[in-house]
Amino acid sequence: MRRGIAAVAVSGAVATAVMAAPAAHAEGRGDIRVVKTVVNAGGSVIVGVKNVKQFPVVMTIKDDSGVRKVTDVSAFNRSNAAGPVSYLGTSCRKSSTTISVCTATMQIDPAWIDMYGSGNEGWDANAVAGTWQVNATVKADDGDYWISDRIATFQVKRAATLTTDAAPEPVRKGRTLTVTGRLSRANWTDLKYHGYTRQVVKLQYKKPGGAYHTVTTATSDAKGHLRATVKASATGSWRWAYLGSATTMKVVSTGDAVTVG
């Protein structure tokens, strides 16, 4: 019997600085502006329970005299201002005399998330997940500067894992096939994966060489377990697929191939 499992892996180095507090409303002097910002190539920032996650914030900055530098970048959750993230520095390249593209490197260490707010009553490390915003302070060659408030928003999500096990294997045609699995997600309080409850997950099937399609759905129980029964009609592979949420990543398990005789 072959079991399939899919999990996220994130990597990086140990954090060295803390950028947490929200910036003030946009203010400054002159015409320098951040005209475009892309966080993590447009994707969500996925954080697990072990590896440090680094991600880029790419800013296109414009000023008539030329861009001198980025002096500060911060990021934090928009609903609770929690920002257990490190700003590791910025590198810039000029694309013209008036425009520079600057890349800031940010870092989240899951081992530090709970410690970040441990002195606050009622602190929940997992509440860090959700919609975040980016602030930045930029300077121009002529002395202009701008404190840019909310130049971008992005999602920080908890990593998830999903397993699939179809039984019996092999199975006779027309008999009942039971497909089980478990949906779990990262818990940043104890740095372990826990079952993700009350989530609707799709059970998908494909014939050899074909594409997966959804057969039915199941809702995860109090420990994240999934279970569905189907009639075995043809040899193929089964898998569970979770579409994700605002705080948890999308995850699809590896398929479990079943021979139908």
Give 176's strand partners: 231
Neighbours of 213 (CB within 10 A): 10
Separation of alpha carbons 56 and 42, rounded Å: 10
Q: Are residues 37 and 146 in the same domain?
A: yes
**CA separation for the pair 25, 27 (Å, rounded):** 6
In percent, the amount of the chain with pLDDT more than 90 equals 87
Mark whether 144 and 211 lie in a shared domain: no
Cα 179 from Cα 106, distance rounded (Å): 41
- At 134-170, the pLDDT tens digits run 999 999 999 999 998 999 999 999 999 999 999 999 9
The mean pLDDT value for 121-146 works out to 96
Which are the contacts of 224, defined by CB distance < 8 A and separation ≥ 6? 182, 183, 184, 194, 195, 196, 197, 199
- Reported as a single tens digit per residue, the pLDDT across 216-235 is 999 999 999 999 999 999 99
Domain boundary among 138, 157, 176: 157
**188-224 pLDDT, tens digit each:** 999 999 999 999 999 999 999 999 999 999 999 999 9
Location of structure tokens 């997992």:
126
Which CATH number fits the domain that encloses residue 252? 2.60.40.730
Same domain, 34 and 143: yes
H-run or E-run covering 116:
helix 110-116
Alpha carbons 26 and 34: distance in angstroms, whole number: 11
Q: 91: part of which helix (H) or strand (E)?
A: strand 86-94
In a domain, 120, yes or no: yes
Beta bridge partners of 179: 166, 228
More confident residue, 65 or 24: 65
Q: Range of 183's domain?
A: 159-258
Q: Residue 115 belongs to a domain with what CATH number?
A: 2.60.40.10
Residue 111 and residue 218 share a domain = no
Indicate if the pLDDT at residue 36 is higher than 80: yes
Ramachandran assignment for 122, one of left (phi > 0), alpha (psi -120 to 50 degrees), beta (any other): left
Q: What pLDDT, in 10s, does the model give residues 51-66?
A: 999 999 999 999 999 9
**Residue bearing tokens 């009350």:** 198
